[in-house]
Amino acid sequence: MPFDLRHILTALRSAAHFMTSTGVKIISGLIVIKLMASELGPEGFGLLGQLMTIVAITTMLAGGGITNGVIKSLASNPIRTPEGKSWLSAAFTLTTGISAAVAFACILLAQPLAGMLLKGDYAYLFICLALVQAVVAYGNLVVAEASSRGDTAFYAKINIVGTLLATCILAIFVKNFGFKGAAFGLVLMPALPGIIALHHALRHRRDIFDNWKWQPDRHRAQRLLSFSIATVIGAISIPVAHLFIREVLGSNAGWTTVGHWQGVVKISDVYMQFVGVFLIHYGMPRFAAAIEPDRALKELAKTLALLLGIVTTGLAVLYALRHWAIMLVFSDAFLPMSDFFPAQLIGDILRTTAATISFFFMARGYVSLSIGYEFLQGPILVILFLVLQGGAGIYAPVHAHLASNAILASTMGLILLIWIRRSAQ
């Protein structure tokens, strides 16, 4: 079989794994939204939104958010090599230290966070979250090692089984225990894939645990943390910007309009999960493993073409079926949000382009460029929103989204061209 055909089939197989696992996560996520909205009503769903944000940020940053760094390091240095063993030990040490610190903070702040965010005595949720984020962190190490070898099937299996199990458990909790059950289920959900990954490693990959040693390594720790900076900024920049925009839009146009815009954002968040997962577990290992610049650029071109093809096709279908999708996920009260779709979808295609280039630079060791990209997303969005709100009115958020991603995609593309020219010299 010719090499090019083999490569194409491998790429399509990997894409199928990611599409399947992310598709399951997307459908499960929509089921969860529908279930909680119908069972708890707007007020209960709104309060749980606060908890969902905290859980999402905490689990995203579990273990220091070093997953990307671990994948890159092990892609170049497999754990069967002495260098790879040292990288995995350094990652374990960092994960343990950061998880312990986060757990301590969650327990210490449990009572004030419960009162501030959930308006009640729910401190036990944040104590549970302290344990959950540690499970997520260690599970991420197992999955990162598999991703560094290009084992996309393992990632898919872990997430599919974990997501389905978590959704079933949450549904039982919501139906039987209402708000409290939903809150506890939301905290528990992220731990399920981690538990399954750790169980699999205990049965089939005990060699991974042989390298989980307390081995402080300042150089490797700094290198791994340099990748997590981009993750931290990415987890904060856009959410803070959205918080500001919601307040301004709510004051000027009313919270019904905010709800319509947030509906589009939630749908965007669902399919952008696929983009992030694809780039982390498919793109990153290939970008990092390509030694020569020419080879790396070929991998970038193939990855970008495949990803944009999938995303553009999916968004075209979504736009064609937008009214049906709104009725399915929300209700007829949300139908006006269909007018927000065009600018949002085009902006997401541009965002996918910029993010792919950012991940490419991260994998090649230019972490500061990725950090800059992640940081600028929020401020540019807010500035453009303020500039456009006078003329665009209620559509200023999505127009700002489109314009900000056009600027960022163009900027990242220009930086890539400069890098190509310098690499050719």
Q: Is the dihedral of CA 115, 117, 118, 124 positive or negative?
A: negative
Q: Looking at this protein, which amino acid is placed at residue 344?
A: Q
Give the pLDDT score at 172: 92
> Considering only CA atoms, which of 69, 18, 11 is closest in space to residue 301?
11
Q: Which helix (H) or strand (E) holds 157?
A: helix 152-188
Distances (CA, A) of 263 to 68, 325, 340, 379: 30, 11, 9, 22
pLDDT digits (tens, 9 = 90+) for 259-296: 788 778 878 887 887 888 788 878 888 888 777 888 88
**DSSP code of residue 212:** -
The pLDDT of residue 220 is above 60? yes
List Cβ neighbours of 364 (8 Å cut-off, separation of 6 or more): 287, 288, 296
Is residue 120 within 8 A of residue 126, CB to CB? The reply is no
Beta carbons within 8 Å of 33's beta carbon, 6+ residues apart: 266, 329
Token pair recorded at residue 291: 């030694």
pLDDT exceeds cutoff 60 at 42 = no
For residue 108, what pLDDT is reported? 93
Task: Answer yes or no: is pLDDT of 46 > 60.
Answer: no
> Burial level of 272, CB count in 10 A (0-12/13-18/19+)?
middle
For residue range 338-377, list pLDDT tens digits in order.
999 999 999 999 999 999 999 888 888 887 888 889 889 9
pLDDT, the chain, mean: 84
User: In this structure, is the dihedral angle defined by the CA atoms of residues 304, 419, 152 and 133, taken in order, positive or negative?
Assistant: negative
pLDDT tens, position by position, 58-84: 887 787 778 878 888 888 888 888 888
HSE, side-chain direction, 13 A CA sphere, residue 361: 25
pLDDT for 2 beyond 50: no
Residue 223 has pLDDT above 80, yes or no: yes
pLDDT at 385 over 80: yes
What pLDDT is recorded for position 6? 64
The larger pLDDT score, comparing residue 313 to residue 240, is at 313
pLDDT one-digit tens code per residue, 324-342:
988 888 777 778 889 999 9
